[in-house]
Amino acid sequence: MRTLTLLIATLFLCGCATQSPVTGEPPAARAKVTALLTQALPPGAGTEARLLTVEYPPGGSTPAHHHDGAIFAYVAEGAVVTALDDGPERRFEAGQSWYERPGQVHRVSRNASTTRPAKLVVFFVTQPGSPPLRMEK
């Protein structure tokens, strides 16, 4: 967790610099930082962070599954339909995100389109060596 905190602090400090460390001049264009999702993690959520991509072909899906750790998912391209536990199906478009708590059943996970691909970027906090997902029986 210390490594994750150090990484976040470094990224924050890089974005907050008001002068170039090389020339001492103000930067020509500043990066825009937008918080997409903030979620407190439950105790025992994990100590390893992973950044993954999930690519669904048109009409593609993943069977019901769960993750041992906490998941932060961001739709980079297209749209997906997802349902967690007994909750309703929800559609997420490019630019939207959601959180899955450790062990939560992801019973629906599919591309919303039968003609266009969809791509997710997933930030995963888990225990070292844990598989990315476990299929439900």
56 and 16 in one domain?
Answer: no
Q: Give the separation between CA 87 and CA 69, rounded to whole angstroms.
A: 19
One domain for residues 52 and 18: no
pTM over 0.85: no
Domain coverage including residue 5: 1-33
pLDDT class for 40, splitting at 50, 70, 90? Answer: confident
What is the C-alpha to C-alpha distance for residues 128 and 49, in angstroms, rounded to an integer? 9
What value does the mean pLDDT take over residues 44-52?
84
- DSSP E strands in the chain: the ranges are 48-56, 65-66, 70-77, 79-84, 90-93, 97-100, 105-111, 118-126, 134-135
Is-contact 96 75, C-beta < 8 A? yes
* Residues 74 and 116 both lie in one domain: yes
119 and 61 both lie in a single domain: yes
What residue type is 63 in one-letter code?
A: P
User: Tell me: the pLDDT tens digits for 8-20?
Assistant: 433 333 444 444 4
Separation between Cα atoms, residue 7 and residue 19, nearest integer Å: 21
Quick one: 71 and 85 in the same domain? yes
> What is the domain count for the chain?
2
**Which residue from 60, 94, 91 is spatially nearest to 76, judged by alpha carbons?**
94
CB-CB neighbours of 60 under 10 Å: 16
CATH number at residue 117: 2.60.120.10
Asked if 59 contacts 117 with a C-beta cutoff of 8 angstroms, the reply is: no
pLDDT confidence of residue 41 = 80
Pair type for strands 105-111 and 97-100: unpaired
Tens-place pLDDT, residues 84-134: 999 999 999 999 999 999 999 999 999 999 999 999 999 989 888 888 889
- Let me know whether 28 and 46 are in one domain: no
